[in-house]
């Protein structure tokens, strides 16, 4: 489809500038205060209604919240960095993200489109050869970096809104555009889904850039190979003591956690398919001569099926408990997030493929792409499928300068225009 009502060159420049702003001020899950305020401001310029704050969340399903002191620090930081404090104040407590509805003039289906907005807990490289360093948009936030492309996803979502706003008179039905917080760690989708906001979606589309697809212009109409995943923290509680004078009075939480780490990594992999486990962080200890009374592990399990993931999860928790018992420590297991697998619907995949073949900048369309990781969007997709809606998760190809979640990750920014045109074309033509 050709969008002759819009100067696409100028739009792409605007979207790249917007993406670079988000890259400069990245915010991790449940702290995307400034990011959300920027999105709302742009949507308001289009005259679109925006829902945000507590009205789009189910508090009991807001998993993996940051510690209160970290949440407050990020909130105060956002207030200082934003020109819309009145919006940020309404998000206090982690109620980030927003939803807009674009109403078409003609009758038709309800189409959901979701993009994610959070960053990774990564410190961006300071190497001058890194494009964000060279061009002055390296992350200003410690241990926060858009190292997975969610800044581009957000720009794609905004571009979709800008294009569709110019074509409301020929839009059939309505488009619900969701800017989702806390995708990393598989946390944010559950809160949005629990409100029932997706119950009216006839079609639903998600997308990711890059991954194992390194050809700009290639688009996958669907994804397979999603890994079911569970995220949890294991907290070991021991007793401190003088390490030289009376070590026998201590209960070494660090030793318990160390035993758990080594034995979790030794869990046998499953014969029926891919299984994974990772211990991402290990925090413990207060001083060289003090028996550690506290240790915390952040853990994730994955499986090509929910059953295999459950095997890994149960095995990991069993190892943690046994390790705690060995050192006479207490153990708390705190659930932080999860997502299952999903199978995209062939009918919508086939139609999406037909539409994508006519999108400017797309030179190859494939039907199936091996995603090979977990994705929080699966939670939303399952909810849509539960009432008969049709879903797919697309992939927009892009050369990788460095792997996802690496401190040198960067984009070929041309993918932003391709993504926006793809989403907008699908929304306008899905029933045609």
User: Which CATH fold topology does 8-225+341-429 show?
Assistant: Aminopeptidase (3.40.630)
pLDDT at 365 over 80: yes
Tokens of 375: 């994705």
**Which pLDDT value is given to residue 356?**
97
Model pTM score: 0.90
pLDDT digits (tens, 9 = 90+) for 205-236: 999 999 988 899 999 999 988 889 999 999 99
Q: Is 319 helix (H, G, I), strand (E, B) or coil?
A: helix
- Residue 432 CA, distance from chain mean position: 31
Q: Which region holds residue 107: left if phi is over 0, alpha if psi is between -120 and 50, else beta?
A: beta
Task: Please report which confidence band the pLDDT of residue 48 belongs to, taking 50, 70 and 90 as the band edges.
Answer: very high
pLDDT digits (tens, 9 = 90+) for 51-87: 999 999 999 999 999 999 999 999 999 999 999 999 9
The CA dihedral of 2, 369, 206, 39, to the nearest 10 degrees, is -80
Q: Is 49 helix (H, G, I), strand (E, B) or coil?
A: coil
In order, the DSSP letters of 206-260 are EEEE-TT---TTEEES-EE-PPEEEEEEEEEE-B--BTTT-GGG-B-HHHHHHHH
Q: Which region holds residue 281: left if phi is over 0, alpha if psi is between -120 and 50, else beta?
A: beta
- The candidate with the shortest Cα–Cα distance to 375, out of 198, 194, 158, 187, is 187
> Tokens 């853990």 sit at which residue?
299
Residue 366 near residue 218 (C-beta atoms within 8 A): yes
Q: Could you state, in order of their start, the residue ranges of all structural domains in the chain?
A: 8-225+341-429, 228-338
Q: Which residues contact 246 (CB under 8 A, 6 or more apart)?
A: none
Task: Provide the greatest CA pair distance for the chain.
Answer: 80
**Which pLDDT value is given to residue 346?**
95
Could you give the C-alpha distances from 83 to 42, 87, 142, in angstroms and in order? 13, 9, 21
Tokens of 321: 């408990």
- What's the mean pLDDT in 341-353? 93
Task: Please report which confidence band the pLDDT of residue 432 belongs to, taking 50, 70 and 90 as the band edges.
Answer: low
Q: Is 303 helix (H, G, I), strand (E, B) or coil?
A: strand
Average pLDDT, the chain: 96
**Which pLDDT value is given to residue 183?**
96
pLDDT at 137 over 90: yes
User: Which CATH fold topology does 228-338 show?
Assistant: Alpha-Beta Plaits (3.30.70)
**Which pLDDT value is given to residue 368?**
85
pLDDT digits (tens, 9 = 90+) for 228-273: 999 999 999 999 999 999 999 999 999 999 999 999 999 999 999 9
Q: Which residues contact 390 (CB under 8 A, 6 or more apart)?
A: 202, 203, 204, 345, 347, 348, 384
Percent of the chain with pLDDT over 70: 100
pLDDT digits (tens, 9 = 90+) for 157-211: 999 999 999 999 999 999 999 999 999 999 999 999 999 999 999 999 999 999 9
Percent of the chain with pLDDT over 90: 93
pLDDT at 342 over 70: yes
């Amino acid at each position: 489809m050709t969008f002759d009502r819009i100067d696409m060159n100028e739009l792409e420049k605007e979207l790249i500038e917007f993406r670079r702003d988000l890259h400069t001020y990245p915010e991790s899950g449940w702290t995307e205060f400034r990011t959300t305020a920027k999105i709302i401001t742009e949507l308001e310029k289009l005259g679109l209604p925006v829902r945000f704050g507590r009205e789009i969340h189910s508090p009991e399903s807001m998993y993996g919240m940051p510690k209160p002191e970290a949440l407050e620090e990020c909130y105060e930081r956002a207030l200082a960095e934003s020109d819309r404090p009145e919006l940020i104040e309404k998000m206090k407590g982690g109620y980030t993200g927003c939803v807009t509805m674009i109403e078409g003039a003609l009758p038709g289906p309800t189409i959901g489109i979701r993009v994610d907005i959070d960053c990774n807990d990564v410190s961006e490289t300071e190497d001058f050869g890194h494009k964000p360093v060279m061009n002055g948009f390296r992350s200003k936030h410690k241990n926060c970096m858009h190292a997975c492309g969610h800044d581009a996803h957000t720009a794609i979502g905004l571009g979709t809104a800008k294009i569709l706003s110019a074509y409301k008179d020929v839009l059939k039905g309505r488009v619900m555009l969701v800017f989702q917080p806390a995708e990393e760690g598989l946390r944010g989708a559950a809160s949005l889904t629990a409100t029932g906001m997706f119950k009216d979606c006839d079609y639903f589309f998600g997308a990711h850039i890059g991954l194992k697809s390194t050809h700009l212009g290639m688009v996958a109409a669907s994804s397979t190979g999603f890994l079911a995943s569970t995220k949890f923290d294991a907290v070991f509680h021991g007793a401190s003591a003088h390490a030289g004078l009376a070590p026998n009075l201590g209960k070494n939480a660090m030793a318990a956690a160390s035993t758990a780490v080594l034995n979790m990594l030794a869990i046998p992999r499953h014969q029926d398919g891919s299984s994974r486990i990772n211990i991402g962080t290990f925090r413990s200890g207060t001083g060289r001569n003090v028996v550690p009374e506290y240790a915390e592990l952040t853990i994730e399990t994955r499986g090509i099926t929910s059953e295999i993931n459950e095997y890994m999860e149960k095995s990991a928790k069993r190892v943690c408990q046994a390790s705690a018992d060995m050192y006479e420590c207490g153990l708390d297991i705190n659930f932080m997030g999860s997502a299952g697998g999903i199978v995209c619907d062939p009918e919508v995949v086939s139609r999406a493929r037909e539409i994508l073949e006519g999108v400017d900048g797309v030179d190859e369309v494939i039907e199936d792409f091996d995603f090979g990781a977990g994705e929080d969007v699966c939670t939303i997709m399952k909810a849509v499928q539960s009432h008969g809606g049709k879903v797919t998760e697309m992939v927009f190809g892009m050369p990788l300068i460095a792997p996802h979640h690496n401190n040198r990750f960067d984009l070929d920014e041309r993918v932003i225009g391709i993504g926006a045109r793809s989403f907008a074309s699908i929304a306008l033509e899905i029933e045609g």
